[in-house]
Chains A and B, each alone.
Chain A
Amino acid sequence: MAAEEKWKGWAWKQQKAAEPGGEREPGVLLGRQLPEAGRFAYAALCGISLAWLFPENEQSSFRTEFIKGFVKWLDLPDAVLPAMTAFADGLGGEGTETFTEILLKDPILKENPLLITQDLLSFSLQDGSYDARARVLICRVSWLLRLPLEDLEVLEESLLESLKDQKEEESETAEVSRKKKERRKKLKRYLLIGLATVGGGTVIGLTGGLAAPLVAAGAATIIGSAGAAALGSTAGIAVMASLFGAAGAGLTGYKMKKRVGAIEEFEFLPLTEGKQLHITIAITGWLCTGKYGSFTAPWSSMLHSSEQYCLAWESKYLMELGNALDSLLNGFVNMMAQEALKFTVLSGIVTALTWPASLLTVANVIDNPWGVCLHRSAEVGKHLAHILLSRQQGQRPVTLIGFSLGARVIYFCLQEMAQEKDSQGIIEDVVLLGAPVEGEAKHWRALTRVVSGRIINGFCRGDWLLSFVYRTSSVKLNVAGLQPVDLDDRRMVNMDLSSVVNGHLDYMKQMDTILKAVGIKTKECQLEEKGSGSLFSPQAKQSQRAAGREARGEENTRKEEDEVGSEALPANCAHQQNSSSTALGEPSPPCPDCSHSTDSKDQAVGKGAN
């Protein structure tokens, strides 16, 4: 297939980028290699992107600091600072085309535009903290340069995964042996820290601690030694550790020392065993007996980053709620519920007053556990906010995903964070599915302060269960899980999941489909890529993984449509179309004229189009 060829070529290029030490003159930063005009265009591109992404007044210091540091990083004279600051403040940023064109025409970048992503990544990491805003900026700039987002993932991953091989290679060179002693000492120290945290941190904690000093070593090959010089310095190593959280134990190491307020249970469970420069925390909405008895069950297919956690909270109450939900559905009410469903979906104008009387008689089954969980989810959210603020997860971007009450946890977490200082640049994206929270835009405005990337509100108009249980909980008629949030911000993405979700319980059962619809990567892509992995040379491991993920991402959706599509996606394509257009309408849609930027958002579009 021609496409296959293309991917191979891309993967090869990718590999070249991942190991610049072999291919390029090491030690020279990309920034210094570009001609002055190119560097100017590069900085201006970042400035304009910053202004577009973070136009808020409270972000002005971040913009200024970033652009200041960046001008220095690129070795541009200070004279350009006023112009760059103006760009970053949203002046003169009428177009990025000229700048991207200049960059793409540059002889160095023409061959491998990924160098820009790489350079930006090393700039963002240089002081040991990976700001979520910086990551969003990198995504934006990569997108402007028509680079698929997966490239960034690959760069981040290779930065970590090349460590194991790196360890041996490193010790052979004479230059490194000089530093070896030093490093060993460090290693020992980290080992101790790692061991110390085994109790709380499990295996992840250990590797996290061990990885820290090695990250800098690995970074040397990926970022180029000059870039890594900043990272590999004695201070740098310590800062790299900061990327991964307190002594590497990170989130799993966190245990609730004492009962906090009304919270009885609060713990992070690892979903995947990997390490990444950005993490994902999933939050389950309720538990029920059987297949979905654990917090991790609904998220089994999610693979948004290779380091994912699941928040375990208040299992006792969530189990109660789940059982109540189940009995409500499976019990004698079922028939009436179906009736209610018809009411809500077909006739439309059903208010809380017109609930069928038979349904209301059993309301007490659900109302109590619901009320308890509603209250506790808010408490848990606030607690989560303080954990994230104290950077237990390290200095790296966090993506939060949750459904039902889990989404409520996230909502309150963000609300709490919004009230604190220094809460910016921690959260990258948030995904709230069927959230039982108020849907008024003014309440959501605060969220834009803390979220750097996107705020995705997945809702289902016909979710009768949510509207039923929420009827007494709040007088507010707007529920985010039932309708779009009318917030005018580039971050806000509303997704109509009505075609996928037929009832509130589907958020748990159909999570795989939902995740794909909202553009969260899932494992399926990963599995398939393993099958064709042999096509590529063994060295290009990293690269082809992403290439494979990407190439197959598209095929997956296609295949799935053919096989499962008829079942999972019934004749609700109109709705799907709706949701995908929302995705496109958002400020940073995947590049339309670049077929290989198979962003997961594209998948949604693909589905919609079919």
Chain B
Amino acid sequence: MRARPARPARCKQTAGGPAQAQRRRRSCARSSGGRGRFGSAAGMDEDVLTTLKILIIGESGVGKSSLLLRFTDDTFDPELAATIGVDFKVKTISVDGNKAKLAIWDTAGQERFRTLTPSYYRGAQGVILVYDVTRRDTFVKLDNWLNELETYCTRNDIVQMLVGNKIDKENREVDRNEGLKFARKHSMLFIEASAKTCDGVQCAFEELVEKIIQTPGLWESESQNRGVKLSNKEEGYGGGGACGGYCSML
């Protein structure tokens, strides 16, 4: 967990090669065949290693939905309307040969929906914290978001990724090093991206997923927990059925 500083550099490299990035994108597009439901039907995609819950948070207007839209649909809409409550998208990606299904919850940044956010944190394995490099206030308020994350998140080993969005814009207010420093301080992954130019978007998600998969306790415990729950229940039932001396009689 602590050996984070190396990551950003590597990440930058992969993002640097446009050909590679494009290849990745295409392969991902291919693999994201079904966008339907998958919760109960675990056997639907046999080759999917796991389902990961990813959360995108950050101030209003920093481009959370745009990042998601670029990642899932590879489109960009400069006039994207503000998110109401929360948006939800599913995408399958493969990282290091492992297929992972991402259930991405894109929260609304607006104040009036802020009360709703706590309900999405639970069970999330990864969180993407977004700020706008052209608006310093969105960077300053990251602390608040981290606080909220700490308050409502059910697990402490959740993988966090800091994304500085809108690097295509001229009027940059937050330096890359500042972001990097902040990410190091809070042991987060870091990348700068632009949903408009597609820069670093794919990489941000892939890095995050890779990190989650490298932390087996994070996603394996999920399924184990479920198993325990089930067996407990069965135990309860069985106990009821097997108790007493006369249950076997007709």
Interfacial residues, chain A to chain B (CB-CB below 8 A):
35-37, 40-41, 44, 55, 57, 60, 76-77, 79-80, 82-83, 85-86, 89-92, 94-99, 102, 344-345, 347-352, 461-462, 467, 470-471, 477, 479, 482-484, 486, 488, 494, 578, 582, 585
Contacts and interface: CB of A to CB of B under 8 A. Distances in A.
B6 interface: no
B90 to A, nearest CB: 8
Given A76-B84, A80-B85, A348-B246, A91 B113 contact: no
Contact of A348 (B103, B116, B233, B249): B249
A350 B245 CA distance: 11
A383 to B, nearest CB: 30
Nearest to A462: B246
B122 interface: yes
B123 interface: yes
B20 to A, nearest CB: 31
A471 B249 CA distance: 11
A348 to B, nearest CB: 3
Given A57-B40, A488-B237, A91 B88 contact: yes
Interface in B14-66: 37, 39-41, 53
Nearest to B82: A79
Given A348-B249, A482-B250, A37 B85 contact: yes
Contacts of B250: 350-352, 467, 470-471, 477, 479, 482
A55 B39 CA distance: 10
B244 interface: yes
A40 B82 CA distance: 14
Contacts of A83: 85-88, 105
Given A98-B118, A483-B247, A585 B236 contact: yes
Contact of A94 (B119, B240, B245): B119
Given A36-B85, A352-B250, A482-B250, 5 more contacts: A77-B84, A80-B86, A94-B119, A347-B245, A462-B246
B182 interface: no
Contacts of B249: 344, 348-351, 467
Contact of B233 (A99, A470, A488): A488
Contacts of A77: 81, 84
Contact of B89 (A82, A95, A349, A462): A82
B42 to A, nearest CB: 12
Contact of A92 (B103, B234, B236, B238): B103
Nearest to A60: B37
A440 B241 CA distance: 12
Nearest to A90: B39
B151 interface: no
A494 B238 CA distance: 13
Contact of A91 (B37, B81, B84, B237): B37
Contacts of A349: 245-246, 248-249
Interface string B147-168: 0000000000000000000000
B116 A41 contact: yes
A486 B246 contact: no
B2 interface: no
Given A89-B37, A479-B250, A102 B84 contact: no
A461 B246 contact: yes
B233 A40 contact: no
Contacts of A585: 236
Contact of A82 (B88, B237, B247): B88
A79 to B, nearest CB: 6
11 contacts: A36-B113, A37-B115, A79-B83, A79-B84, A82-B89, A83-B85, A83-B88, A91-B37, A95-B122, A350-B246, A351-B249
Given A36-B112, A348-B244, A488-B234, A80 B84 contact: yes
Of A41, A94, A344, A494, most buried by chain B (CB within 10 Å of CB) is A94
B120 interface: yes
A85 B86 CA distance: 12
The 10 closest A-B pairs by CB, nearest first: A348-B246, A98-B119, A40-B85, A348-B245, A94-B122, A86-B88, A83-B88, A89-B37, A90-B39, A94-B123
B113 A37 contact: yes
Nearest to B55: A92
Interface in B90-111: 103, 105
Contacts of A102: 115-116
A578 B240 CA distance: 9
A345 B236 CA distance: 23
A367 B217 CA distance: 62
A347 to B, nearest CB: 8
B150 to A, nearest CB: 17
Contacts of B113: 36-37, 40
Nearest to A99: B119
A486 B237 contact: yes
Contacts of B84: 36, 40, 76-77, 79-80
B158 to A, nearest CB: 14
Contacts of B89: 82
A599 B40 CA distance: 32
Contact of B240 (A76, A479, A494): A494
Contacts of B123: 92, 94
A89 B120 CA distance: 15
B246 A55 contact: no
Contact of B40 (A55, A86, A578): A55
Contacts of A482: 250
B148 to A, nearest CB: 12
B92 to A, nearest CB: 14
B241 A486 contact: yes
B81 A79 contact: yes
A252 to B, nearest CB: 40
Contacts of A488: 233-234, 237
Contacts of A351: 249-250
A375 to B, nearest CB: 21
Of B37, B238, B250, most buried by chain A (CB within 10 Å of CB) is B250
